[in-house]
Amino acid sequence: MKPKNHKYFFEDVSKEIGVHKDVVDDLVTFYYAKLRKNLSDLSDTHINVTGLGTFILRKKKLEKAIKRNKDIIGNLEKMTYKGFEKYIPVKKKLKQMEIAFEKLKEKINNKKKFRNETK
């Protein structure tokens, strides 16, 4: 089974809906750009995508990534321009990961609390 490129479907979908091919292309591009942004920004612990499933943030992998980025920050020379240039994006990503980890811990605690209340 050979997967088909999504660009082949734009014409058929546009004829079926009755809009121009570029409109369908822009809509699909916008949707997946927004999806990629939400996935990379770690905006939530669970992201549901219709037709694809649910993307769930894993606690162990997130802990490893946070540890690895903290090690990277510790090894960078922040006093040089080159080191500081590398430091800024890593620090930003680390902050996003720590916020997502706090959300994940909060969700886990809420689940445990709910289970204990229902027993």
Q: Write the pLDDT tens digit of every residue in 77-107.
A: 777 777 788 888 889 999 999 999 999 999 9
The residue among 28 and 68 whose pLDDT is bigger is 68
- pLDDT computed for residue 112 by the predictor: 93
Whole-structure pTM value = 0.70
Cα-based distances in Å from 104 to 13, 51, 56, 110? 39, 24, 10, 10
For the stretch 13-32, pLDDT in tens is 888 888 888 888 888 889 88
- Which among 97, 107, 44 has a CA at the least distance from the CA of 67? 97
Is 108 a residue whose pLDDT tops 60?
A: yes
Distance CA(103)–CA(29), nearest Å, equals 29
Give the whole-number percent of the chain exceeding pLDDT 70: 96
* CA-based end-to-end distance of the chain: 49
Residue 76 burial class via C-beta count within 10 angstroms: exposed 0-12, middle 13-18, buried 19 and up: middle
Is 14:7 a contact under the CB 8 Å cutoff?
no
